[in-house]
Structure 1
Amino acid sequence: MDIITQRLSQPENKPVSCIETHTCGEPTRIIIDGYPDVTGTLLEQRAKAKAQHDDIRKRLILEPRGHYEMYGAVLRPNTELTRTGQAHMGVLFLTNEGYSTMCGHAIIALGRFLVDTHDHKIFPRRNNITWNRSALVASLNIHAPCGILRVKVPVKKDGKSSDPTRPVSFVSVPSFATGVNIPVNINHYWPQLEKALTPKGSISVDFAYGGAFYAFVDASSLGFDAPLEDINMLDLSKATECLLSSIRENPELTEYFQHPEEADLSFLYGVIVTDDTFREKGRVLGAELGITFFADQQIDRSPTGSGVAARAALAYCKGEREAGISWTYHSLVSTRGLGPPFVGTIEPETIETNEGRPAQVCVRVEGQAFYTGFSTFSVEPADPLGDAGFVFAKASNLALSDGGQ
């Protein structure tokens, strides 16, 4: 160990160690050591992390250690569901803005990591994972703020490590549509808006939940004439930001992102822009493309696991999709062959129809994650940046003391 490593690993430098992964190009920085202990239910831990330890989120997610599109996951081995044996591990998710309630791409990465690690300090319930010797698949449950995700991870012949050549899958929490073709009056301008507005001055939007709430809109409905793959991302980001603001400022629309059981889940997480003209090469049906803008206008490089669950539930609600049919979900990364797409399938036995509530379905989402490295981040006491991080794109209101937010 050289002098630099020795210095950075000292407690006064607050070292935090991480495993780095990506899922279809979308990063997950998995914190494995150095995060303070927080107690209570997982939602209580989420609230405490936000109130007491947000400096760590900013330090790891924002610049200079991270970047505006970085994503993180904090392992939480002690939750109300791990203590009862219903889950093997809990997790909190970190974004450029705060703490999301669900993240499919991170669950896929976590599935691999939890199978591969045999360090009981990191994963006390590692030996409780079961695996099918004939199918070579390990099964484990991960407790996210939205609920339990049932994860299946392909393993090698000895069952001790994951097989990166085959996809990880998880079954979503109950997912459902809350609004179809809902007119949204627009309060903020973007250049393509005039092409988008209906005669009544609104834009038609769908709403659905897949562990987080999303608004769904086709690119053409935002005023864009080109295929989604050819649209400038800055232009699309501006349009979705204006759409989100218009939705959030209208109290009459809050009913479309209210969770029936948990107030902490009742917020609109992002916008997913779809493309009705997209056709995967060699196929007429069975695949679609979408771009997710979430948190503070982060752009998901992956097809968005929670978004896949919500999109499948929306398709079921519209009568466009039956249970048991697998559907391919692309992002701009997967359409260029830089990462495998996700596959979503509505589980036939999990459909629920409750009077007065939308039909709820559980969706099996498949994707592949890969390791990209490992890291330890520290804070030198003499560094004026301190515990914070910043967003350089928002330099006009840059404030190191609060992470530039």
Structure 2
Amino acid sequence: MRQELSLNLMDTHAGGDVSRIVLGGIDPLPGKTVRQQMEYLRDDADGLRRLLLEEPYGIPEMSVDLIVPPSHPDASVGYIIMEVMGYAIYSGSNTICTATAVLESGLVPKEEGRQSFMMESPAGLVHIEAQVHDGVVESITCGGLPSYIDTHRATIHVPSLGNVTYSVAYSGGFYALVDATELGFHLTLDEEADLARCARAIVEAIQAERGFSHYTLGDVGPLPFLHFMGPVEQVGDHFYRSRSATYVHPGVICRSTTGTGTSARLALMHHEGRIKPGDRLETVSLRGSGFIGEFIDTRREEDHDVVENTITGKSYVLAHSRTVVNCEDPMVDCGGLHHILSDGHD
């Protein structure tokens, strides 16, 4: 009789980006820290990411977040982020979704009003502030990774586009930042396919020409992200808004503007002298959803002005499910998966 293997999942979304939270069904992973557990999945057990982001279970536009035990005593939970490009050490939208899921699942008891707790990402501790009203998680504010500008207004020749001006920020991954208007875009939903093609050409040209190194992390891989920037308008005291779109290589335009994309924008606006501590920027996606980034402060580290920031957004629960993993199904590749799946009795 075939043993049934299954995963306990909660599907959520923030700004339109779906994050599939894995709450149970995976055996404890080797590694003393969340970062080491992420590296184990990346190097030895990539089957979970591929299973849930590929047919028949998922699509590349989704993300997966695996709940794991934290290693830091101040953290309530740990989580590992999986995307089409691989394993991000941090993501704003995934953090907002995961924080909502741990509250809705009871892993962190919900408290009416404003409550704070810590989660451990592969990048380290993340401070979470949740606003709960009548038992509903109305918003999550999380600390964005300290962000800085690596490159300001460089030019690269892209065969299908000509010369393109771009900046590069680090905000949890390296982002190419380009002016959407200069490339002929208005950042409307009907442009989504063209935005993806344009971004892919620019990212591949940058990857072919140069690499990037973080001042403490070193080589974190080829540049995987591009952020299209619309015009910035001031809509209130210390409050700005801009249409935006984030691309993840290869081939995905995110439904939301992404938290790390918003952090990258804050770093660029600070570098260009356009915002001050306490200012907020709302980035608005092709679908009209938004995240709000707040510029908190800066510090100087190894010749970089590093921007401290927070990201605020709302996540919605889409589904609770127990997903059956049938390795006899020819559409399912269980390679890199057998040794981490528990027997379904979590």
Q: Are residues 371 and 264 of structure 1, via their aligned partners in 2, closer, same or farther at CA, if it must alter by over 3 Å?
A: farther
Q: Are residues 380 and 327 of structure 1, via their aligned partners in 2, closer, same or farther at CA, if it must alter by over 3 Å?
A: closer
Question: Paired residue for 2:92, among 55, 79, 104?
Answer: 104
C-alpha displacement of 1:364: 1.4
Q: Which deviations, in whole Å up to 9, do the C-alpha atoms of 1:140-182 show, x marking residues without a partner? A: 122222232211011247xxx5x33x32101222111111101
Cα distance in 2 for residues equivalent to 1:331 and 1:237: 14
Question: Paired residue for 1:63, among 30, 55, 59?
Answer: 55
Cα distance in 2 for residues equivalent to 1:89 and 1:108: 14
- Specify every segment of 5 or more residues in structure 1 that has no aligned partner in the other structure, as ranges: 1-6, 390-405
| Higher RCO structure (Cα 8 Å, ≥6 apart) | 2
Q: Secondary structure, in 3 states, of the residue corresponding to 1:275?
A: strand
- Specify every segment of 5 or more residues in structure 2 that has no aligned partner in the other structure, as ranges: 336-346
Q: Is 1:171 aligned with 2:143?
A: yes
In structure 2, the partner of 1:332 is: 286
Cα distance in 2 for residues equivalent to 1:56 and 1:230: 31
Q: Are residues 282 and 231 of structure 1, via their aligned partners in 2, closer, same or farther at CA, if it must alter by over 3 Å?
A: farther
Larger radius of gyration: 1
Cα distance in 2 for residues equivalent to 1:279 and 1:345: 16
Q: Secondary structure, in 3 states, of the residue corresponding to 1:272?
A: strand
In structure 2, the partner of 1:35 is: 26
Question: Paired residue for 2:175, among 194, 201, 214?
Answer: 214
C-alpha displacement of 1:49: 0.4
Cα distance in 1 for residues equivalent to 2:222 and 2:129: 29
Which structure's residues are more often strand, by fraction?
Answer: 2
In structure 2, the partner of 1:303 is: 257
C-alpha displacement of 1:87: 2.3
Q: Tell me which stretches of 4 or more aligned residues in structure 1 moved more than 4 Å.
A: 278-283
In structure 2, the partner of 1:317 is: 271
Q: TM-score, normalised by structure 2?
A: 0.88
Q: Which deviations, in whole Å up to 9, do the C-alpha atoms of 1:202-242 show, x marking residues without a partner? A: 321011111221000012333x2x41216532222111111
C-alpha displacement of 1:51: 2.5
Cα distance in 2 for residues equivalent to 1:381 and 1:113: 28
Contact 1:19–1:32 (8 Å) recurs in 2? yes
- In the TM superposition, what are the counterparts of 1:79-228 in structure 2 within 5 Å? 79=71, 82=72, 85-118=73-106, 123=107, 126=108, 136-156=113-133, 161=135, 163-164=136-137, 166-186=138-158, 189-190=159-160, 193=161, 197=162, 202-222=163-183, 224=184, 226-228=185-187
Contact 2:30–2:36 (8 Å) recurs in 1? yes
Which structure's residues are more often helix, by fraction?
Answer: 1
Aligned length: 334
Question: Paired residue for 1:249, among 204, 208, 211?
Answer: 208
In structure 1, the partner of 2:321 is: 375
Q: Which deviations, in whole Å up to 9, do the C-alpha atoms of 1:108-152 show, x marking residues without a partner? A: 12222222333xxxx4xx47x9x6x7xx21111222222322110
In structure 2, the partner of 1:3 is: none
C-alpha displacement of 1:102: 1.4
Q: Are residues 381 and 72 of structure 1, via their aligned partners in 2, closer, same or farther at CA, if it must alter by over 3 Å?
A: closer
Q: Which deviations, in whole Å up to 9, do the C-alpha atoms of 1:277-324 show, x marking residues without a partner? A: x759999x7100111111422221112011111110111111111110
In structure 2, the partner of 1:361 is: 307
Q: Are residues 46 and 230 of structure 1, via their aligned partners in 2, closer, same or farther at CA, if it must alter by over 3 Å?
A: closer
Q: TM-score, normalised by structure 1?
A: 0.76
Q: AA paired with 2:278? A: G
Q: Which deviations, in whole Å up to 9, do the C-alpha atoms of 1:80-105 show, x marking residues without a partner? A: xx2xx232222111112321221111
Sequence identity percentage? 23
C-alpha displacement of 1:381: 4.2
Contact 1:95–1:295 (8 Å) recurs in 2? no
Q: AA paired with 1:90? A: G
Q: Are residues 282 and 210 of structure 1, via their aligned partners in 2, closer, same or farther at CA, if it must alter by over 3 Å?
A: closer
Supply the RMSD in Å over aligned alpha carbons. Answer: 2.6
